[in-house]
Amino acid sequence: MPTLVVEIHVPLTPDANATEGDVRFPWIETLEEFTEQLEEEGEIFVVEQGDEYEGSYVIVITGGEEQTLLGVANRLASLPGIPTGVVAVLTDDEADELGQGQQVEIS
């Protein structure tokens, strides 16, 4: 039986305040720390973190029901510095590639 997964797609929007030599996407570290903390607390399981797909940074999570996983996506999109345009894709662990499934606009 397939397992529900949620792909969280965050547009790869560079920090508007970044100057030459600065990290262009400082918010990626924020996302990674946030999801790692939730995983350590047992709230979710991070299947994959850090894929680039069609202009987005993608984190794939599982380990909960749809409401829980979409709630994590909403919380993630609300973190300081996260670009707008976050989309969650409801799919399962048998999907052939990223982006296949029901899309839910988050921010």
Residue 44 confidence (pLDDT): 96
Per-position pLDDT tens, the chain of length 107: 889 999 999 999 887 666 666 677 888 999 999 999 999 999 999 999 888 999 999 999 999 999 999 999 999 999 998 999 999 999 999 998 999 999 999 99
Q: What is the rounded distance in angstroms from the CA atom of residue 36 to the CA atom of residue 44?
A: 9
Q: In what order do the strands lie in the sheet with 45-53?
A: 45-53, 56-62, 4-11, 87-92, 102-105
Residue 106 confidence (pLDDT): 97
> What's the fold here for domain 4-105?
Alpha-Beta Plaits (3.30.70)
Q: Which of 36, 84, 16, 94 is nearest to 56 (CA)?
A: 84
Residue 49 confidence (pLDDT): 87
Residue 51 confidence (pLDDT): 85
Q: Which of 60, 38, 34, 35 is nearest to 47 (CA)?
A: 60
What are the extents of the domains in the chain?
A: 4-105
